[in-house]
């Protein structure tokens, strides 16, 4: 082949289109993974189980509304016939910042609060053992001695209880 027959290579797609297509594909995959993570089901009995949608539905609504509003700002700026004062990127940045500030203010003044606070979980008491523990400590000291705590061990009572239970002698007859 002679050098004169060579032609310049013209790609079928411009590089900017390929970059946009790859970015959109990565965004779709990341968005799908985020949605799956947000709506994952909770585990029974596990505090904090489940995604943000299950645990904080009001915050989820606020975030979805803010994301939708930012999308509307981007669409409005991109499709506008008038050239924005700050350029399209500046107008999108100002509009997105305004939406974020409005979302924060809306979250502050949301009736009943945006974030749901769960009540504290009660502490689970340990299960009782099969061997009961005596309620009074057994003392191994001799009666009449003083223990380390300063108390004196009492001596057993010496009452004539045995003679009280005997039957009186009967008279013959």
- Residue 97 is predicted with a pLDDT of 96
Band of the pLDDT at 171, cuts 50, 70, 90? low
- Residue 21: give the domain boundaries: 14-108
Spatial neighbors of 110 by CB under 8 A, at least 6 apart, are 58, 62
More confident residue, 162 or 77: 77
Q: What angle do CA 92, 96, 59 make, to 5 degrees?
A: 155
Residue 55 lies in a domain: yes
Residue 116 lies in a domain: no
Residue 145 lies in a domain: no
Q: Given a cut of 70, is residue 141 above it in pLDDT?
A: no
Band of the pLDDT at 143, cuts 50, 70, 90? low
77-102 per-position pLDDT tens digit = 988 888 778 888 899 999 999 999 99
Residue 125 lies in a domain: no
- Residue 7 is predicted with a pLDDT of 84
More confident residue, 67 or 6: 67
More confident residue, 140 or 90: 90
Residue 29 lies in a domain: yes
Residue 46 lies in a domain: yes
Residue 171 lies in a domain: no
- Residue 169 is predicted with a pLDDT of 60
Total structural domains in the chain?
Answer: 1
- Residue 29 is predicted with a pLDDT of 97
Residue 85 lies in a domain: yes
- Residue 41 is predicted with a pLDDT of 80
Summary mean pLDDT of the chain: 77
């Amino acid at each position: 082949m002679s050098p004169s027959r060579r032609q310049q290579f013209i790609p079928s797609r411009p590089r900017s289109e390929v970059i946009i297509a790859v970015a959109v594909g990565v965004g779709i995959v990341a968005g799908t993974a985020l949605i799956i993570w947000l709506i994952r089901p909770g585990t029974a009995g596990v505090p904090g189980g489940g995604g943000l949608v299950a645990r904080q539905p009001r915050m989820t609504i606020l975030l979805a509304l803010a994301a939708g509003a930012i999308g509307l700002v981007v669409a409005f700026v991109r499709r506008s016939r008038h050239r924005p004062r700050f350029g399209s990127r500046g107008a999108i940045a100002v509009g997105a910042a305004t939406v974020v500030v409005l979302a924060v203010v809306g979250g502050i003044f949301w009736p009943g609060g945006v974030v749901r606070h769960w009540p504290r979980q009660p502490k689970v008491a340990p299960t009782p053992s099969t061997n009961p523990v005596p309620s009074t400590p057994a003392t191994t000291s001799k009666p009449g001695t003083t223990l380390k705590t300063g108390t004196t061990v009492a001596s057993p009572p010496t009452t004539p209880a045995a003679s009280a239970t005997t039957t009186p002698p009967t008279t013959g007859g």
